[in-house]
């Protein structure tokens, strides 16, 4: 269910839980080892004084509303957590033609869409929090580079395949009366250095329906572009519901791949991100499966601490370890104390920094903003390669 390590008797635990996988919606127990109590009535009570359109970014939730991991871990898991026999990134790199590589990048982008659970949310990362995990030759490093606005940065490299990934994104949840819409600003960049190709993309928004029928789904438009080849893709994450929101399917994907120089549609895309996604050649009519969720994101296991002494003090699994363990154990009093402990230590650190007149800067990224709102930002990694991590994803 989870992986734990300690750094001495008085040090907090390093607690890692299973990533979200397909079993989260089919098994009696979610894949991350914890099932939240029925939260519909509590959620309605929590939001009864929140006006529609309100920004929920800084809304403080009690422990009952959290699932046991940080948002940084969620972002990281969508990159490093796949089944042992699946490696979509390597496939992107090893395809022979630009169109084949682009199609594989589309499939990889879909694989970063993961199941989630209604009524609970990840912890808001604290300033300077990091998450560092390796899977094979892929080393992944995340850092919370800002909390006002909240911006998360990711850098991942595979020196064997000569692949680099850079993300800079900010989740902005807003209350819409009968739902909460969490848009993710920023961009994701994938570099296939052996081919001199750069792919830029965004990600869908998370839609949490409260009424009439509670549920959670991914929605919106994802655009993928390779400027070197001129190939582009447009994916639409859609939902289909019957009367009053009953039944239907909330995991549909439709889209197309086209050549931007001629505007010719090369492939039509259709499927479900939690099952299979197909492409249809518009000339030949041939249909092939490019993504099978069961082969990629089912049966995922928790990362393992390989070197406890090498884990940074800023590591998500260490900062939130006591809270995570308390939530999994349904010990809500201890969870409340653990959450307050993290908040108090963070507040103390900020005050001490202000007293010394110090300005905090990220340790692993350079961050720039293109407007005053902070919604358009760019994160550049300081180092060319991400080092191997003390935490390993199986």
Mean pLDDT to the nearest integer, 78-104: 92
> Mean of the pLDDT values across residues 213-230?
93
Position with higher pLDDT, 43 vs 61: 61
Give the 3-state secondary structure of the chain.
CEEEECCCCCCCCEEEECCCCHHHHCCCCCCCCCCCCCCHHHHHHHHCCCCCCCECCCCCCCHHHEEEEEHHHHHHHHHHCCCCCCCHHHHHHHCCCHHHHHHHHHHHHHHCCCCCCCCCEEECCCCCCEEEEEECCEEEEEEEEEECCEEEEEEEEECCCCEEEEEEEEEEEEECCCEEEEEEEEEEEEEEHHHCEEEEECCCEEEEECCCCCEEEEEEEEEEEECCCCEEEEEEEEEECCHHHCCCEEEEEEEEEEECCCCEEEEEEEEECCCEEEEEECCCCCEEEEEEHHHHCCCCCCCEECCHHHCCCCEHHHHCHHHHHHHHCCCHHHHHHHHHHHHHHHHHHHHHHHHHCCCCCCCCEEEEECCCCCCCEEEEECCCCCCCCCEECC
For the residues 136-165, what does the mean pLDDT come to? 96
Could you read off the pLDDT of 234-278 as tens digits, one per residue? 999 987 655 555 556 779 999 999 999 999 999 999 999 999 999
pLDDT category of residue 27 using cuts at 50, 70 and 90: very low
Report the pLDDT value the prediction gives residue 378, as an integer from 0 to 100. 87
Q: How confident is residue 287, by pLDDT bands cut at 50, 70 and 90?
A: very high
Confidence band (pLDDT; 50, 70, 90) for 28? very low
| pLDDT at res. 305 | 97
* pLDDT tens track for 178-206: 778 888 888 899 999 999 999 999 999 98
Averaged pLDDT for residues 145-153: 93
pLDDT tens by residue, 297-354: 998 999 999 999 999 999 999 999 999 999 999 898 999 999 999 999 999 999 999 9
359, pLDDT greater than 50 = yes
């Amino acid at each position: 269910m989870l992986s734990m390590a300690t750094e001495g008797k008085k040090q907090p635990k390093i607690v890692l839980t299973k990533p979200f996988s397909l079993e989260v919606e089919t098994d009696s127990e979610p894949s991350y080892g914890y099932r939240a109590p029925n939260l519909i009535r509590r959620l309605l009570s929590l939001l009864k004084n929140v006006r529609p359109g309100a920004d929920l970014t800084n809304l403080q939730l009690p422990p009952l509303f959290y699932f046991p991991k940080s948002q940084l871990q969620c972002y990281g898991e969508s990159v490093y957590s796949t089944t042992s026999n699946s490696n979509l990134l390597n496939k992107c790199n090893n395809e022979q033609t630009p169109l084949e590589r682009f199609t594989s990048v589309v499939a990889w982008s879909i694989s970063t869409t993961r199941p989630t659970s209604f009524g609970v949310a990840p912890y808001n990362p604290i300033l300077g929090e990091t998450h560092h995990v390796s899977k094979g030759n892929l080393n992944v490093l995340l850092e919370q580079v800002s909390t006002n606005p909240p911006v998360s940065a990711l850098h991942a490299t595979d020196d064997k395949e000569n692949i680099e990934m850079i993300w800079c994104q900010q989740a902005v949840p807003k209350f819409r009366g009968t739902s909460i819409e969490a848009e993710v600003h920023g961009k994701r960049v994938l570099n296939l250095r052996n081919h001199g190709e750069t792919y830029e993309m965004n990600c869908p928004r998370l839609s949490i329906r409260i009424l009439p029928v509670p549920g959670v789904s991914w929605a919106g438009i994802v655009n993928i572009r390779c400027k070197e080849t001129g190939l582009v893709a447009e994916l639409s994450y859609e939902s289909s519901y019957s009367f009053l929101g009953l039944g239907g399917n909330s995991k549909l994907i439709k889209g197309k791949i086209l050549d931007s120089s001629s505007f010719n549609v090369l492939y039509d895309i259709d499927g479900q991100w939690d099952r299979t996604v197909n492409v249809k050649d518009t000339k030949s009519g041939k249909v092939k499966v490019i993504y099978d969720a069961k082969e990629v994101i089912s049966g995922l296991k928790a990362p393992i601490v390989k070197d406890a002494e090498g884990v940074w003090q800023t590591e998500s699994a260490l900062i939130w370890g006591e809270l995570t363990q308390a939530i999994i154990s349904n010990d809500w009093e201890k969870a409340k104390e653990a959450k307050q402990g993290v908040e108090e230590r963070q507040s103390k650190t900020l005050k001490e920094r202000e007293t010394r007149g110090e300005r905090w800067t990220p340790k692993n990224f350079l961050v720039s903003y293109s407007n005053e709102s902070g919604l358009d930002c760019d994160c550049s990694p300081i180092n060319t390669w991400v080092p191997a991590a003390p935490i390993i994803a199986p």
